[in-house]
Chain A
C-alpha cells in the first residue's frame, strides 16, 4: 500500500511533465534581445529630432499644434505633481493649500502658462499625484509630464527625459535657531552633524558626496518625513533646495532658520526640469513653449512673483 501511493504520485508527475513539455513554455530563444530603454513612438508629423541629453531640440511648428501632441489623454494636458504640494511651488495661500489647480505658486503658475502657450485652455489641464521617487523609475507613465522640483541629472536622464531647465537653485541647510549648527560657515563645521534628506534627491547626493558628514545621513521617503524628523529633534539639520528651505523656516516648522546656502555644487548647477517618460516626443514642443516663456520674460516674472525673498542668506563655503 505504501509503495503504491508513491508510484502513483510519480506516474502522475511523469504524465504532467509530458503534458507541460508538449504544450507549455515559450519558444526559448536564448538570443532574445529587447530594445534597451528608449522606446520612441514619434508622431508622423514631427520632423526627425535627436533625443540628445545636452542639446535643445525643437520640432517643426505644425508638429506642436494642440491636436497633434503626443498626450496620454487626448485633448487634455495631464500634469503630475507631488502629494501633497507645498508653497512656494504650488498651492499658495491658506485656502489654496494642496490645490495645484489654483494656479498659485511658481510651478503652479508655470504649468498654466505652459498650457496656454501650447494651446490648452485652463480647464483642459488635469493634475494627478505621484510620489517623488516613483516617478523617476523607468517605465511608461500615466501622465504627460511631472513637475516636482526634479533636478536634471545624467543618471535620471538615462531612464526618463527632461525638458530644458526652468529654474536653477542651490542646496540650503535648515536647522533650529538654537542649534549648534545654526551659524556654521564652512562645510568642515558640519562634520559631526546628523543630517537628513529625502531618498533619490540631489539634496541627498549633495549631503553624502559634498558635505560628507561623519555620521551617516538619515534618509527618508519624502521631504515631509525629513521635516517630521527635524520637528522631532532626531536630526540636526536638513538639506533641501533654497525655496523649499524658505517655506520650511517661514511656515512649516517653528523655530527653524536657514543656516546657510551652500556655495559648492555637486557637479553642475542644480537645475529643475519637467520630467517626461523616456522618449516622449512631447518634450520638444514643451521646450519650444518654455523657450518662448523665457524670451518674453514670463519665466523671470514668475520667479520674481513667487520665489524671490527679502533679506540675505548666509553662505556656507566649502
Chain B
C-alpha cells in the first residue's frame, strides 16, 4: 500500500514542503511563500530590536566588534579543551550507561543484588547536581592524597561528568530496551540464547536504534555541561571568556563562547532530525512492521 492520500491525513504547509516530488508546483510555491513570510517576520523582529532605545548600549556591551575579535582566539583556544573533554566523555558515557542498562534488564532473582546496585547508583547520582559532583570529585578526592589515585582536575572533572551522565543515559537505554517487544526476547530465548546473549544480539541492537535521538539529545546537553569544569580552574572556553571580561567589563566574550557552543551543537541537532526522518521514511516504505 502506498501512503494514504492527503485529504485523509490532513495537509499542512510543512507536509507539502517535505514532498516536492509529488506536487512540484505546489512545492515551489510553498518555498516562495515561506521565504516571503520569513523576510516579513525577520524584518519585523530586526526592526523592533534595532530601533529600541537600549540597542546601542546593548550592542556595545554584548556585541562589540572590537572585543569580539580580540577575545575570539582566546576563547577558541579554551574551546578546544571543551571539545576534547566531551569527545572523551561521550564515548565513556555511552559504554558505561549501556552496561548499567543491560545489568538492569537481567531477569531472575540471582541477579537481584546487581540490579539493586545499579538502581541505587542511578537514583543517587541523578539526585546530585552535576556541579556538586564536579566539586566533590575534582577538589575532594585529590585532597585525600591517596597513593595511586590521580589528582588531575581534568581527570576528575571528566569522571564526574561521565558518572552523572551515565546515570541519565542508562535510563534512556532502559526505555529503549523496554520499548522492544517482549516477543523478540522470547524468540531469542527459544532459540537457545542465554539472557545476556539475547540481550546482546536481539534486544539491544533494536533498543539502541529506537533511542538514538534521545542519546543525541544527551550528547548536545553534554557539550554544554563540560563547561562546568571551569570551577576546577580548567582554562576552558567559559573561563577564558570570564578572564577577559574581568579585565574589560565588556561581556562580548560571553557571546563569543555562546557562538562557539552553538556552532558545535547545531550540526548534531540537524543530524538528529535527518536521522529521525530517515527512520520514519524507512518504516513507512516497508508498510508496517
| Interface residues of A, Cβ cutoff 8 Å to B | 1-3, 5-6, 9-10, 13-14, 17, 20-21, 24-29, 32-34, 133, 136-138, 155, 159, 196, 199-200, 204-205, 216, 218-221, 225-226, 228-229, 231-235
Interface of A is mostly: mixed
Most buried by B among A33, A204, A226, A228: A228
Bound complex: CA of A10 vs CA of B243, how far in Å? 47
Chain A residues near B37: list those with CB within 8 A. Answer: 9-10, 13
Give which listed residue, A24, A28, A218, A233, contacts B233 with CB less than 8 A. A218
Known: A5-B12, A136-B249. 11 other contacts (CB 8 A): A2-B11, A5-B11, A10-B33, A10-B37, A13-B41, A27-B51, A205-B247, A225-B231, A226-B233, A232-B139, A234-B153
B28: Cβ under 8 A from any A Cβ: no
Docked Cα-Cα span, A218 to B153, in Å, equals 11
Q: Using known A-B contacts A137-B249, A219-B243, determine if residue A2 contacts B16 with beta carbons closer than 8 Å.
A: yes
Provide the bound-state CA to CA distance between A29 and B51, in Å: 7
Majority DSSP secondary structure for residues of B touching A = helix
- Known contacts: A25-B52, A199-B246. The answer to whether A231 contacts B143 by CB under 8 A is yes
Q: How far is the CA of A27 from the CA of B55 in the complex (A)?
A: 12
Asked if B139 and A229 sit within 8 Å, CB to CB, the answer is yes
Q: Write out the residue numbers on chain B whose beta carbons fall within 8 Å of the beta carbon of A199.
A: 239, 242-243, 246
Do A225 and B233 form a contact, CB below 8 Å, given A32-B53, A232-B139? Answer: yes
Interface residues on B, range: 35 or more
16 contacts between A and B (CB under 8 A): A2-B13, A2-B26, A5-B11, A5-B12, A27-B51, A28-B50, A32-B53, A136-B246, A159-B249, A199-B243, A200-B247, A231-B139, A232-B143, A233-B143, A234-B151, A234-B153
Is A133 a contact partner of B246 (Cβ separation < 8 A)? yes
Q: Which of B227-260 contact A (CB under 8 A)?
A: 231-235, 239, 242-243, 246-249
With a cutoff of 8 Å between Cβ atoms, the chain A residues found around residue B57 in the complex are: 34
Residues of A within 8 A of B36 (CB): 10
Chain B residue numbers with a CB within 8 Å of A32 are 53, 56
Interface check B145, CB cutoff 8 A:
yes
> What CA separation (Å) do A1 and B13 show in the bound complex?
10
Q: Smallest CB–CB gap between B270 and chain A, Å?
A: 24
Interface centre among A13, A199, A219, A232 (most CB of B within 10 A): A232
Q: Judging by beta carbons under 8 Å apart, are A218 and B235 in contact?
A: yes
Question: Shortest distance in angstroms between A231's beta carbon and chain B's nearest beta carbon?
Answer: 5
| Beta-carbon contact of B239 and A219 below 8 Å | yes
Q: Shortest distance in angstroms between A159's beta carbon and chain B's nearest beta carbon?
A: 5
CA distance A125 to B152 in the complex (A): 44
Neighbouring A residues of B248 by C-beta, 8 Å: 155
- Per the bound structure, the CA–CA distance linking A13 and B231 in Å amounts to 46
Q: Please, which residue of chain B has its CB at the minimum distance from the CB of A234?
A: B153
* Cβ–Cβ < 8 Å partners of B152 in chain A: 234
B7 lies within 8 A of chain A by Cβ: yes
CB distance from A83 to the nearest CB of B (A): 16
B56 to chain A, nearest CB (A): 6
Give bound CA distance, A34 to B59, whole Å: 13
Q: Among the listed A1, A20, A218, A229, which residue makes an inter-chain contact with B7, where contact means beta carbons less than 8 Å apart?
A: A1
